[in-house]
Structure 1
Amino acid sequence: MAEQLHITRIHLPTLQTPPTPASYDKHRGQGTPLIIDNGSTTLRFGFCTSATPRCQPNTVSKYKERRTNKPLLLFGHGVDTESGAKSQAKTPWEGDVLLNFDALENALDYAFIQLGIDASSVEHPVLMTERLCSPLHSRGLTSELIFEQYSVPSLAYCVDSVMSFYHNNLPPSSVPFSSDGLVVSFNSASTSVVPIMQGKGLMSHAKRIPWGANQATDYLLKLIQLKYPTFPTRVTNTQSTWMLQNFCEFAIDYPTLLRTLKDPLRLRASERIIQFPFMVNAAEEKTEEELARIAERKREQGRMLQEIAAKSRMEKLLQKENDLQYMLNLRERRDEETKKEWENTLQEEGFENDGELDSAIKKLESDLKKARKKEADGGEPEDPEPPSFPLIDVPDADLDEDGLREKRKQRLMKAGYDARERAKREKEREREEREAEERREEEERDRDLTGWAGKLRKEQEAIMNKIKERNRRRAALTDRKSAAAQARMKSIANLAADDRVPKKRRKATGEDMFGADDADWAIYRKINTAAASSDEEEDLVTLQAVEQKLLQYDPSFTAEHTHASLSAQRSALLSAFRPQYEDGDIEGKTRLHLNVERWRVCEAWFSPSMAGIDSAGLGEVLQGALSRFSDQEKSRLVKNVFVTGGPSQFSGLLDRMYAALRPILPPEMPLEIVRAADPMTDAWKGMADFAKTDEFNRVSVTKEEYEEWGGERIKRWWGGNWNSSVLVD
């Protein structure tokens, strides 16, 4: 089953082994440049002589440990080790702007400790990334932190996407950087387009849209929550990011893809199923000794209950015998007392006359007789004896007033007894007919199970068609132009023109003959849209009985074939979009089916409005950026459309960009789109390559320049945000 459905288990993050600080000996006193790629999700750092950077999630959390009540400062993967620390985690970034400088200081402390720097100051030049079009004030605060806190000798800033382009188009050591290209950088909080002409980033022509991997992750999570509002497990941002990276991709033509996915079979073939962890309540298995002890305990409890019931019956029997003896003694006093005294005695005992006393004595004697017989038979109930009505056949002339009253009473009792007997015989006859029908059905089922099941399936289909036809007619009545609604209005008009009572008489007396005929109630149900059909409830009961038989005896008939299941699924397309699972299927209830969402999330890069973002898409931004260049310059740019950043690794991106750029370019103009060799670390590697050149020292702001001009001192160079002028605050 799992292989046919291509089920993937949800990724659960594992705890990372704490990294070991590096040795600082070979860099001590050498002044090796430090490279820091300060990303919004990942911090990459290291010396420029390293082959690869050290990487940690750019997350910090100040947390108080419960057992020792000591404050802890956790960074990177260390935040995942404490569940309480995750809720207090924060990053230096707010979207695409660096705002939290306390977290930045903690991140830099961690980086320098892991690099093994044990000196009182960081005596290494620093090359650090910044966002495209970063605020000047943010850069000034960052410079102030690095110069004042760590006393670095010099500091330079660069745009990460430009440095990734530099690394992938690295010229020979003796040749200056002069490549042309159009850099498209997919970042965590934004996506930017930077034209590069003759090795110089044209930041005045750069564009940026407020859509990145973080927004895509949130969008996917919202789509999942909308699709599964009652999902039993909480889906986290980390899991949503994992699903985005592993299952989402770009479509070359998104509208055409949606039209293709209207076919339920294609929709099911395109889905990816993610199985979340679930727990099955395993039945407790008992040993034979435990089962024997439980059975013995139940038998003992049964015996105790029987003894309690027998004791209660004996107490009631003794009470009735005492009451009978008391009433017999009371009746013996009738001959000893005067009439007046006897009437007072009866009133004190709650009797109106001698007849009530005799009836009570007779009833007690009958109850005692039944109870004694029941005790003698071992507590089994006996069939009641038919009552006798001796006065029924006695002529009225032979009876006095009390006898006539008793005769009328017995006649009523006999009528009630006869009615109960007739109802009992009718029930017995229906039971016998039902048992005979069940025997005939069982014989037919044993003789031909396939034919019997086929007959019941036809009966089920006929009943469902009747129910569907009723629903269709009820829906048609809501449309006043439909044939059903017009027929209803015609029926109402005919009732209003009823000539069974003259119009003058109806107007004078208000007399109406509606209801005199049984057909009136049928027409009433026909014209009243809110009235339920008299046969609807019977059909539902019959349908349920038929489906229960099929579920019990037909192995090919499952719960998915029942009327309730088919009504819940509503359509094959909706069933393919979100399959329904039975209530007891815990494994199925903890599955996510991703189909349309796989392409919809990525399409938001080209149509942010579909996710509620008021911004142009990537295709429009590329067209706007290229429109500012001549055809000759445009031809140089589109020969090297360079894609970098983590989301650039999504499948189908290059084809989607080609489909967006090709129609806006002349047919003869060549177009080539390439992806960075390593989109995750190429920016850091490009910074390391540049730090080894002599130009790095010329573009850096020294400690002396900072002390003279302040933290907002900027030097222009081809890889920075400002490359056309020198700005001084």
Structure 2
Amino acid sequence: MTEMPTPEVIRIPNPPLPTVRQPASYDDFRGTETPLVIDNGSTNLRFGFATSSSPVSAPNVIAKFKDRKQNRPLILMGEAVDVESGARSQARYPWEGDVLLNFDALENALDYAFIHLGIDTPTIEHPVFMTERLASPLHSRGLTSELLFELYSVPSLAFGVDSVMSFYHNNLPTPPIPFTSDGVVVSFNTASTSVIPILQGKGLMSYAKRIPWGATQANEYLLKLIQLKHPTFPTRVTTAQTNWLFQNLCEFAVDYTGLLRTMKDPMQMRLHEKVIQFPFAAPTTEEKTEEELQKIAERRREQGRKLQELAAKAREEKFQQKEADLQYLTNLREKREEESKKEWTNTLREEGFDNDAALDGAIKKLEADVKKGRKKDTDGDEMQEDAPSFPLVDVPDEELDEEGLKEKKKQRLMKAGYEARERARKEKEREREEREAEGRREEEEREQDLEGWATRLRKEHETIMNKIKERGRRRAALSDRKSAAAQARMKNIANLAADERVPKRKRKTGSDDMFGADDADWAIYRKINTAAESSDEEEDLVNLQTVEQKLLAHDPTFTLEHTHASLTSQRSALMQAFRPQYDEGDVEGKARIHLNVERWRVCEAWFSPSMAGVDSAGVGEVLQNILGRFSDGDKGRLVNNIFVTGGPSQLAGLIPRLHATLRPLLPPEMPLRIVRAGDPLNDAWRGMADFARTDEFARVSVTKAEYEEWGGERIKRWWGGNWNSSVPL
């Protein structure tokens, strides 16, 4: 049997320590109108001035926590929430799915951003450019505008779709000229995946689609698969650990169905496997000194002596009680001659005896017990039972009276029972001697030719295993009514129903038929009765266990893994490769997670959400639907720049999978180009910073005066927002 490969064990990393940031200096931006760029993401909040090269990033989570030591309330932001265990249960996110709902948390997050940027003025004197999700509700945008204009008094505010801004940064012409790039933006976000076509530098939001599947759902799906695969995992797998597994070990498959066919081979499944070692507490064994071990041994010997003394005392008391009972019953029997028959009957009933025979039997039993106990005391061993005598068996019946005949009949039965027991004892002794002789012959064979002896027993072991497997296969075949075995069973039943061996005369009179008179009939019965247990099967299991014990004791190449119990518990090599079993005491092995099929299954849900229970089209189907609405000329311009962005877009295999999905949908001569954002996590912020430095930014912003006149839901159409010239209001 080919040995399974041993995959590398990856240790789950410890969570990183929180980063302590000092507020930046505000002197360079004081009195200027440098725009503030805020990428309000579901996972991370990225913020900074438009002239900065990169943003400041922090987890977008808030927790209100009361410090008991100082007895004052605290507001924790980002990584600080994970430091305080009591604050984790109070964590709140501005976003719920793809909708901005918790504006208290958003306010605290903005306070954190402005403080770390060093802004110390009463109001924010900089224009603000903030991201929004595709198809964000209008009231959510209005409440965000109200928060920024009323609380922070910002001079102007503009909103842009984050994925379009990432596309803008990666396709920005040099030198800057009007933005006229074409392409399709596929944005893998935290709670959803959006597809936006862009023509002549304008996002066509009326053609855009959104899939309700993102990194959050993928993490939850992976966690469910892990819990289903390892139901008795000793520790709780946290969301952060699942996120690490998803980001570092999961990937897209170019041909998911073909990959599954490949992994039907247990060897291939183990080759694709990743083993993750989680923290575990090894059992501590206290090493004892030689003196302590001697004290423990002496204590145990002392306890053994005390137990022996108590047992001897109990036996002595029991023996004395039996002697007293024997003396009492003997004295009671002597009174039989002194009392009348009626008085004697009442005496027996008071003592709990029905008649004289019961009293005599009790006395006889006590005499035997007392005699045996005295023999033990003198010889230290049980007294051997003497051979019984049956003197009346050979006496003719004519010489015996009625009582003698009864006693003779009784002795004849006792003699027959004694002789039967003797024959059984001699038969057992003979079988024991034969087993001992067989054991001696086998031991001599093993000593002379160990390899030949082991080979013979292994063949015997294999033969019995094959018989057991064949029975299992037959039971499985009988459960399928279309199988040959099931059809043969029905044929046998039909033949038995039409059996002509019983004459018509006997059938009319209700006489029994002849089924069962022949041993072959029981073989037929076992074939047609799927629930019937065969005596041969029990005998095979006993013989198999005996052979396995011999091989385990003398054959070093035969281990517990080769036994029938071990192979049965493993069920199959494929199941063993899918989820290896560890010994009960292997604490380190029990704290391991094996990922094989799950590594690709989680990512496959982007293309087939139905496999995860989501009623939605996948990325490939959405792209096909969107591209089908354009002419061949426009479609060629779009597919020449398929742009993927967002955190999950960094997973391996995404671009080959998209290429394999789209290529069959396009004409052979149409070029297909798929590119990934240079920095999928921060390019949305950089694109916003690039746009905020242009003159067009002021034209798409809503000023405070316009807000006060028209309200927070005032909309300005522009190519990077949710509402543009292609979308009628």
TM-score, scaled relative to structure 1: 0.90
Give 1:267's aligned residue.
269
| Amino acid of the structure 1 residue aligned with 2:614 | I
Give 2:678's aligned residue.
677
Say if 2:424 is the partner of 1:423.
Answer: yes
Give 1:647's aligned residue.
648
Give CA-to-partner distance per residue, 1:141-171, whole Å, 9 cap, x none: 1100111122222211111122222322334
Give 2:321's aligned residue.
319
Q: Secondary structure at the match of 2:79?
A: helix
**Where do 5+ consecutive residues of structure 2 fail to align?**
none
Aligned-pair CA distance for 1:680:
0.8
Bigger shift: residues 396-405 or 499-508: 396-405
| Amino acid of the structure 2 residue aligned with 1:674 | V
2-structure distance, mates of 1:115, 1:259: 54
Q: Secondary structure at the match of 2:91?
A: coil
Q: Secondary structure at the match of 1:62?
A: strand
Structure 1 residues 446 and 80, CA, compared in 2 at 3 Å: closer, same or farther? Answer: farther
| Amino acid of the structure 2 residue aligned with 1:27 | F
Q: Where do 1:545-560 residues align within 5 Å? A: 545-560=546-561
Aligned-pair CA distance for 1:266:
2.6
2-structure distance, mates of 1:489, 1:614: 45
2-structure distance, mates of 1:229, 1:352: 64
CA contact (8 A) 2:51 2:689 kept: yes
CA contact (8 A) 1:389 1:414 kept: yes
1-structure distance, mates of 2:153, 2:102: 21
Bigger shift: residues 363-372 or 171-180: 171-180
Structure 1 residues 373 and 616, CA, compared in 2 at 3 Å: closer, same or farther? Answer: closer
Q: Secondary structure at the match of 1:122?
A: coil
Bigger shift: residues 450-459 or 436-445: 436-445
| Amino acid of the structure 2 residue aligned with 1:369 | K
| Amino acid of the structure 1 residue aligned with 2:240 | T
Which of 109, 126, 140 is matched with 1:107 structurally? 109
2-structure distance, mates of 1:220, 1:334: 90
Structure 1 residues 716 and 384, CA, compared in 2 at 3 Å: closer, same or farther? Answer: same
Aligned-pair CA distance for 1:713:
1.3
Give 2:251's aligned residue.
249
Give 2:474's aligned residue.
473
CA contact (8 A) 1:716 1:725 kept: no
Aligned-pair CA distance for 1:502:
2.7
Which of 184, 191, 194 is matched with 1:192 structurally? 194
CA contact (8 A) 2:206 2:726 kept: no
Give 2:48's aligned residue.
46
Q: Secondary structure at the match of 1:203?
A: coil
Q: Secondary structure at the match of 1:52?
A: coil
Give 2:122's aligned residue.
120
Say if 2:690 is the partner of 1:689.
Answer: yes
Say if 2:260 is the partner of 1:258.
Answer: yes
2-structure distance, mates of 1:536, 1:693: 86
Structure 1 residues 535 and 340, CA, compared in 2 at 3 Å: closer, same or farther? Answer: closer
1-structure distance, mates of 2:92, 2:256: 36
Q: Where do 1:290-689 residues align within 5 Å? A: 290-330=292-332, 349=351, 360-377=362-379, 379-396=380-397, 399=400, 401-478=402-479, 483-485=484-486, 487-496=488-497, 501-689=502-690
1-structure distance, mates of 2:10, 2:613: 30
Aligned-pair CA distance for 1:82:
3.3
Structure 1 residues 523 and 629, CA, compared in 2 at 3 Å: closer, same or farther? Answer: closer
Give 2:139's aligned residue.
137
1-structure distance, mates of 2:211, 2:351: 99
| Amino acid of the structure 2 residue aligned with 1:46 | G
Aligned-pair CA distance for 1:480:
5.4
| Amino acid of the structure 2 residue aligned with 1:610 | M
Aligned-pair CA distance for 1:722:
2.3
Which of 18, 27, 35 is matched with 2:37 structurally? 35
Which of 76, 95, 104 is matched with 2:97 structurally? 95
Structure 1 residues 266 and 312, CA, compared in 2 at 3 Å: closer, same or farther? Answer: closer
Give CA-to-partner distance per residue, 1:84-119, whole Å, 9 cap, x none: 433443311122121221221222122223223333
Structure 1 residues 342 and 67, CA, compared in 2 at 3 Å: closer, same or farther? Answer: same
Give 1:57's aligned residue.
59
1-structure distance, mates of 2:673, 2:358: 113
Give 2:15's aligned residue.
13
Aligned-pair CA distance for 1:42:
0.9
Aligned-pair CA distance for 1:295:
1.4
| Amino acid of the structure 1 residue aligned with 2:546 | A
CA contact (8 A) 2:63 2:77 kept: yes
2-structure distance, mates of 1:195, 1:483: 58
2-structure distance, mates of 1:620, 1:324: 98
| Amino acid of the structure 1 residue aligned with 2:239 | N
Give CA-to-partner distance per residue, 1:371-423, whole Å, 9 cap, x none: 2232233x543433334445445555555555544444444333333333332
2-structure distance, mates of 1:497, 1:635: 75
**Percent of matched pairs sharing the same residue:** 73
Aligned-pair CA distance for 1:129:
0.5
Give CA-to-partner distance per residue, 1:117-156, whole Å, 9 cap, x none: 3333222221111112222211101100111122222211
Structure 1 residues 618 and 526, CA, compared in 2 at 3 Å: closer, same or farther? Answer: closer
**Where do 5+ consecutive residues of structure 1 fail to align?**
none
Structure 1 residues 418 and 647, CA, compared in 2 at 3 Å: closer, same or farther? Answer: same
Structure 1 residues 70 and 404, CA, compared in 2 at 3 Å: closer, same or farther? Answer: farther
Give CA-to-partner distance per residue, 1:688-727, whole Å, 9 cap, x none: 2332333333322222221111111122333222232899
2-structure distance, mates of 1:196, 1:340: 121
Q: CA RMSD in A?
A: 3.3
Aligned-pair CA distance for 1:621:
3.0
| Amino acid of the structure 2 residue aligned with 1:706 | Y
| Amino acid of the structure 2 residue aligned with 1:269 | L
Bigger shift: residues 624-633 or 247-256: 624-633
